[in-house]
Chain A
Amino acid sequence: MSQYKFSERSEAFCQDLFQNMFDTSDAIYGILISTVDGHDVSKSFSRDMPAAKLSAMMSAILALGETIAVEAEQQQCRYVIVENSDGYILTLKIKDKLILSVIATTQANLGMLHSVSRNAAEKLAAQLR
């Protein structure tokens, strides 16, 4: 099956960016880029997690978030956040076809996590033009 794939240069850019995000916040332990239709493209996990399954789930939850916003007569869902007893999972779109998901422990400051994720998404959108 042909799937969305980064060039070596883009993959290297992503891995550098992921490292910067890890360096910015100790609480972040997983960063995943996937397609809007649920395929994993690039990742950096410091714990073992199923990237393929998470990618499908992230695409579903972001699509649901966008649809729920529209049904509630709101527009442009920016993030979907899963806050749970062990931490946060923040998911946001990078342009039309990609999704960035950032997974962090409860030690994360949600505002900080927002900021780091949004900045990363903007850099990725510019680089992956």
Chain B
Amino acid sequence: MSEIKLIITGPPGAGKTTAIAAISETAPVKTDTHTTDDLAAVKEQTTVAMDFGELTLDDGQKVFLYGTPGQRRFEFMWKILVEGGLGLIILVDCSRPDPLADLHMYLDNFADFIRQTSVVVGLTRTDHPDAPAVAEFYSSIESSGRVLPILEVDIREREDVALLINALVSTLEFSR
């Protein structure tokens, strides 16, 4: 039975902690603390080190999920957490002011990791009135020379999180 490590990243409030809590078979490990800045208007707590959860795929493969802090000041944790990782899920909150810029910020900052592995993008809160269309994400990513799977998800739903993980695992198997 093999084990794989996947990383979930994205802006604060995108649903990284929620996603791991939704799918983990064990009680998720969280490092949430009080928010003391502007983010407090949106959420009372924020992840400052990592989230962790685990699940077993249908074929018996064990998946360890690591969630990163979203804020850029915690980018030292991004570098620590990708060590030994096999794939990346980027969650993009479409209710934020510039979701396309958010996506590219994470694509750029995880570029070294992405070069060695696979990425799946999960769009959350796509029902927001100002949310860009999925096609805009595709063309924006293509314009930077990449082709990535993009899925619209409700991160509170276990099935949707499973969809992202299965898409990433399939991409990893396909790229072998």
Contacts and interface: CB of A to CB of B under 8 A. Distances in A.
Contact of B33 (A52, A55, A59): A59
Contacts of A71: 29
A34 B55 CA distance: 35
A4 interface: yes
B29 A37 contact: no
Given A38-B73, A38-B74, A67-B30, A60 B37 contact: no
Contacts of B118: none
Contact of A60 (B29, B34, B49): B49
Interface string A46-67: 0000001101110111011011
A67 to B, nearest CB: 5
B48 A38 contact: yes
A100 B35 CA distance: 17
B39 to A, nearest CB: 8
Interface residues on A, range: 20 to 34
Interface string B36-71: 111100000010111000000000000000000101
A64 B36 contact: no
Contact of A97 (B30, B32, B34, B49): B34
B174 interface: no
Interface of B: 29-39, 46, 48-50, 69, 71, 73-74, 76-77
Given A60-B76, A67-B49, 15 more contacts: A1-B37, A1-B38, A3-B37, A35-B36, A36-B34, A36-B48, A38-B71, A59-B33, A60-B31, A63-B33, A63-B48, A66-B31, A67-B29, A96-B34, A97-B34
